[in-house]
Structure 1
Amino acid sequence: MTTTLPSTASPATSSPLPAGHTVLDLIEGHVRRAPERTAVLCGPDRISYRRLWDAAHGVAERLLAHGCSRGETVALVGPGNTAFMAAALGAWLAGAAWVPIDPRLPEERVRYVLDDTGARIVLTTAESGTGPDTGLRTERVVLDGTDTAEDADPDALAAREERIRPHRATAGDRAYLIYTSGSTGRPKGVAVGHHALAVHLLGALEAYGLTPEDVLLSFASPSFDAAVEEMWAPMAGGGTVLLRGAALWTGRQLFERVRAHRVTYVSCTTAYFEAFFGEELSEDDIACLATLRGVVFGGEAVNPAVVRRWSNGPLGSIPVCNTYGPTETVVTATLYWIGEGWQGDRVPIGHCLPGHLSVVLDAAGEEVGDGGTGELHLGGPCVAEGYLGRPDLTDQRFVTLPGRDGTYYRTGDLVAVRGQELLFLGRADRQVKIRGFRIELEEIEAALRAAQRGPPPPDAPDPPADSSDRRSPGGGGDDTAVDALEQRADGGDRLVADVVPADPADREDPVVFRSALRGTLMRTLPDYMVPSEFRLHADLPLGVTGKVDRAGVRAGAGDTP
């Protein structure tokens, strides 16, 4: 049996988008054509396009009453639920961009994001309360949900739309900011414009083959960039998105929801795919998944054995899709569809979605051909604006290439060219993926040093890009090295930190020291960035350049009692 995979355009094409259109225009078209079609499912909530559109206008009205102006950034604190989606749409209708904030993040990190974006208004959901108390001067607007009176006066609603219409975002405005780990020790905000977002969503519709009849199950937290595609691509196509919300599902719960809501696509991280779909499936599991037309995963390299088991198993006729893409190029940039009977030993990251371009360059900046390897550069209309308030980092990563139009993003990822497909080989720097989240190890090392000697003054300049490798002037005492060294039971990497305590006495009571260090990091870093293990040392080996010899640490770093 031959599996029919969704068709994708060649890497040089892009989906058509009427000039000046945004995701608001795409969704509004569906509101007018099919107002009672279900837009969002989450828990007991089933929200139609009309109700969501009306609720979003209610949010926009409240934002404008608080003095929200075009181009302003508002913060959205809460899980990915129907209220969150109404808030995001409402921000766009008011002409604002938004930055998602997971309420589980440490207050210090939330404070940093709010301060860095200058967000004056914080939209929170009833489920999240008022959100973290950051001590910053912000106006908090608590949303009551997406309920709209069924007997609301249509003329009044239409009049509200017309009042708000002049404020709504345009293609030239910023749509959102997503914060990623930073190599200088602090997170950086990736700014994405409305035009880039709309082009990408149309490309995703084409690449995945989404239709108005499809129901896509979204797993990602709103603070993870994958949620942008999972939430808005189905709605751009007039379909339905099923949100996980704040709940953590088991595989059985996922399968039951697929059956209950007749889900046609599941989008999840690679780790979820391997955990939920990588085991032997029972007859009941297979029956639950009968409505699926595809499973899309990404975030880190996938185990080919899991893919082979699926493709050659009882549900092998349902294709799975390996995706790749940095936040800086609007979620997914490349994909590879895997059909029934696949027997490969390495899963490619494939070729570009419509609206995305790629070129692979060697160390000399020359494009490599079939069989060659080099650094992947991504271009096209789906490239982000850059890093918020970080022109130095923006200039390093967002570049122009001789003979090519537009801006390209230097991914730092090494790939091999195999015909029309790309194979991911690894990183050219020290960035890693843990549970699907992109992590700069230098940020964790900076947090470890700050935990021992206190944070720098607020007006202190950024450290040099390679400062995380430098020893202190005193010849030791705050050296750190963090790496993803060991395999967890589920096959994923875990973080291990090698630390030289600033106070040698701390080595005499390592249990207390490790506990205090972990507690400090939990107050400053997301949980996925806190190392699983801390190994204490009197010193760390140095290389010939005077920097920490990380290979030496990996090869011989023993834990002190």
Structure 2
Amino acid sequence: MTTILDVIEERVRRTPDRTAVICAESRLSYRRLWNGARAVARTLTAHGPVRGSVVAVLGPGNEHFMTAVLGCWLAGASWTPLDPAWPEERRRHVLTDTGAPLVLVTDGASAAPGRLHGVPVLAVAEAVASASGTPDDGEATDRPGPDDPAYVIYTSGSTGSPKGVCVDHGALAAHLAGAVAAYQLADDDVLLSFSAPAFDATVMEMWAGLVAGGTVLLRGSALWTGPQLFARVHEHHVTYVGCTTAYFETFFGEELTEREVELLGGLRAVFFGGEAPSAAVVRRWLAGPLGHVPLCNGYGPTEAVIAATRYWIRQGWDGGDQVPIGTCVPGHEAVVLDEEGREVAPGDSGELYLGGRCVARGYLNRPDLTAQRFVRLPGRDGVYYRTGDLVFQDGEDLVFVGRVDRQVKIRGFRIEPEEIEVVLRGLEQVRGAVVGVGRSPAGRDRLEAHVVPEDRAVPADVFTVEVRRALRERLPVYMVPDVIRVLDELPLGATGKVDRTRVLARTGGA
């Protein structure tokens, strides 16, 4: 395999009429998807040379989004997502940083006519309407090679300025091949892509199913309710659900009714990622009527190409308060080093470095930051991404501890707030939790926990007493939060992850 284009083109030749994409009332066969993408590629090149450029794709993750992405690749361009929910300043930054020559719009309501921040706007639907010909009519495209960039996805930077992570076609193809093997995907599978396009997991949710020769069901712009989600899973015979951890806990975390169990009966697995899952929710799923359906916890920064590790959670799992992040997906490598760059012993924590073919090219237009984070290690081949994540090895599995840059010192003790969050999420009475550092009225630093109860009928004062008692049984006294705030829910950001910034904005005060 050189690029995903070669794989999908082969699927088009073998099974041209098989359904590739479903979104709302639309169904695209492999042939229609390919022809539409070729029409988009023709439209792009008609506006000028685009090979090597980054084309922006604005709108929801619908069938036009996948057509646009495939069209960019066929034209030799990479792509970057623009989320309609982003503030204008962030969109402007991405367009300026990438130098995007064009914006492809997947939903006519997503942009003002003509231009977006000075960049020409093209409607994907109009380009697709001009599609003609067959996949093997010999029409030339300016295809990329494995070393050419495939996409640029922006992540939040510690400085406040988003940074674009550039991934090449070889790394993407290697990851998708590894994912198909790791998740045992087949051509009779139907995968639900539920994440937002700005979240890099969407790349795997959308394209791994097609690499396997199966079908992808797209959520589109609407955030379904639980009943809508379950009905669509049943209607379209979904076998694999891919989503963020927060979505999983929202929709699958409750006890299921008999009817919901019936609707979800065709599932083979649910995989999620983006943040640590609640061990209590996981145990509830495994103990329920669908406990035979395994869960898969994926971990991986955008810089290491989507999910670098995975951990299968099956009936009989008894992992205590924390779900490991597991072992490497094929194509990825991991090493855990101490502050001196030495490999740590099993059981000792250290910083995780990820290598292998599935490592990003670096940060767009940020050679200084690229040099800091993408490094070479003595005695090892290739480039490794320095994740900034602390982990330790438990047997064959990696276990997440926290962030190097979030370590805090309170009253002389070094503390990882994520470690407290893991313990909180492992409590039966807790649905979700975020821990941060605030200031007391006296001006002293203190730990503050923002917690969503499992049973909202329990009075807040009773709940906090129970949680505090449980924490004292599991943590040193200096790690028990001074303040526990009870929330109805944890707000989600545009990517479907918990918006920690909004939560921690409440930190501090009396």
Decide whether the 8 Å contact of 1:373 with 1:414 is kept in 2.
yes
Q: Match for residue 531 of structure 1?
A: 502
- The amino acid across from 2:335 in the alignment is V
- The amino acid across from 2:286 in the alignment is S
Q: Match for residue 6 of structure 2?
A: 25
**1:162 match: secondary structure:** coil
**1:369 match: secondary structure:** coil
**1:279 match: secondary structure:** coil
**1:56 match: secondary structure:** helix
Decide whether the 8 Å contact of 1:110 with 1:134 is kept in 2.
no
Deviations along 1:39-66, one digit per CA (max 9) or x if unpaired, are 0010001110000000000000000000
Q: Match for residue 154 of structure 2?
A: 179
Decide whether the 8 Å contact of 1:308 with 1:344 is kept in 2.
no
CA distance in 1 between counterparts of 2:116 and 2:151 reads 24
Deviation at 1:131, TM superposition (A): 5.0
Note the 1:109-124 alignment, pairs <5 A.
109-124=90-105
Classify 1:246/1:482 alpha carbon distance in 2 versus 1 (closer, same or farther; 3 Å): farther
Identity over aligned pairs, percent: 56
Classify 1:104/1:490 alpha carbon distance in 2 versus 1 (closer, same or farther; 3 Å): farther
CA distance in 1 between counterparts of 2:127 and 2:113 reads 23
Q: Match for residue 88 of structure 1?
A: 69
Deviation at 1:234, TM superposition (A): 0.5
Deviation at 1:431, TM superposition (A): 9.6
Deviation at 1:418, TM superposition (A): 0.7
- 1:487 is the counterpart of 2:483: no
Deviation at 1:430, TM superposition (A): 3.2
CA distance in 1 between counterparts of 2:394 and 2:4 reads 35
Tell me which of 149, 161, 166 is aligned to 1:191. 166
- 1:226 is the counterpart of 2:201: yes
CA distance in 1 between counterparts of 2:183 and 2:40 reads 31
Gaps of 5+ in 1: 1-16, 433-480, 492-521, 536-553
Deviation at 1:133, TM superposition (A): 9.1
CA distance in 1 between counterparts of 2:69 and 2:448 reads 35
- The amino acid across from 2:96 in the alignment is D
- 1:558 is the counterpart of 2:509: yes
Decide whether the 8 Å contact of 2:182 with 2:329 is kept in 1.
yes
**1:383 match: secondary structure:** coil
Deviation at 1:176, TM superposition (A): 0.2
Deviation at 1:139, TM superposition (A): 1.6
Q: Match for residue 137 of structure 1?
A: 118
Deviations along 1:320-362, one digit per CA (max 9) or x if unpaired, are 1011000001100000001112222121100000000000011
Deviation at 1:134, TM superposition (A): 7.9
Q: Match for residue 217 of structure 2?
A: 242
- What is the root-mean-square deviation in Å for CA atoms of aligned residues? 2.8
Decide whether the 8 Å contact of 2:309 with 2:326 is kept in 1.
yes
Tell me which of 4, 11, 17 is aligned to 1:36. 17
CA distance in 2 between counterparts of 1:482 and 1:130 reads 45
Classify 1:130/1:431 alpha carbon distance in 2 versus 1 (closer, same or farther; 3 Å): farther
- The amino acid across from 1:184 in the alignment is T
- 1:402 is the counterpart of 2:378: yes
**1:302 match: secondary structure:** coil
- The amino acid across from 2:365 in the alignment is G
Deviation at 1:200, TM superposition (A): 0.2
Deviations along 1:121-152, one digit per CA (max 9) or x if unpaired, are 111124434359986331211121686689x5
CA distance in 2 between counterparts of 1:112 and 1:82 reads 26
Q: Match for residue 510 of structure 1?
A: none
CA distance in 2 between counterparts of 1:133 and 1:532 reads 38
CA distance in 1 between counterparts of 2:123 and 2:286 reads 46
Q: Match for residue 391 of structure 1?
A: 367
Q: Match for residue 13 of structure 1?
A: none
CA distance in 2 between counterparts of 1:52 and 1:359 reads 40
Deviation at 1:482, TM superposition (A): 13
Q: Match for residue 265 of structure 1?
A: 240
Classify 1:126/1:267 alpha carbon distance in 2 versus 1 (closer, same or farther; 3 Å): closer
Note the 1:102-113 alignment, pairs <5 A.
102-113=83-94
Gaps of 5+ in 2: 409-444, 456-492
Note the 1:147-226 alignment, pairs <5 A.
152=132, 154=134, 158-159=136-137, 161-164=138-141, 167-226=142-201
Q: Match for residue 378 of structure 1?
A: 354
Note the 1:469-488 alignment, pairs <5 A.
485-488=449-452
Decide whether the 8 Å contact of 1:374 with 1:416 is kept in 2.
yes
- 1:97 is the counterpart of 2:74: no
Decide whether the 8 Å contact of 2:180 with 2:208 is kept in 1.
yes
Decide whether the 8 Å contact of 1:129 with 1:142 is kept in 2.
no
- The amino acid across from 2:140 in the alignment is R
Deviation at 1:158, TM superposition (A): 4.4
**2:502 match: secondary structure:** coil
CA distance in 2 between counterparts of 1:53 and 1:208 reads 25
Count of equivalent residues:
436
CA distance in 2 between counterparts of 1:482 and 1:92 reads 50
CA distance in 2 between counterparts of 1:236 and 1:211 reads 9
Q: Match for residue 306 of structure 1?
A: 281
Decide whether the 8 Å contact of 2:114 with 2:121 is kept in 1.
no
Note the 1:307-386 alignment, pairs <5 A.
307-345=282-320, 346-386=322-362
Decide whether the 8 Å contact of 1:125 with 1:145 is kept in 2.
no
| Larger deviation, residues 124-133 vs 341-350 | 124-133
- 1:63 is the counterpart of 2:40: no
Deviations along 1:257-312, one digit per CA (max 9) or x if unpaired, are 11100000001111111121111111111111111000001111111111111112
CA distance in 2 between counterparts of 1:132 and 1:224 reads 26
CA distance in 1 between counterparts of 2:407 and 2:86 reads 21
- 1:75 is the counterpart of 2:56: yes
Classify 1:153/1:364 alpha carbon distance in 2 versus 1 (closer, same or farther; 3 Å): closer
**1:163 match: secondary structure:** coil
RCO comparison, higher one (Cα < 8 Å, 6+): 1
CA distance in 2 between counterparts of 1:33 and 1:120 reads 35
Classify 1:216/1:534 alpha carbon distance in 2 versus 1 (closer, same or farther; 3 Å): closer
Decide whether the 8 Å contact of 1:103 with 1:128 is kept in 2.
no
- 1:423 is the counterpart of 2:387: no
Deviations along 1:188-208, one digit per CA (max 9) or x if unpaired, are 000000000000000000000
Deviations along 1:77-116, one digit per CA (max 9) or x if unpaired, are 0100000100000000000000011112111110000000
Deviation at 1:534, TM superposition (A): 5.2
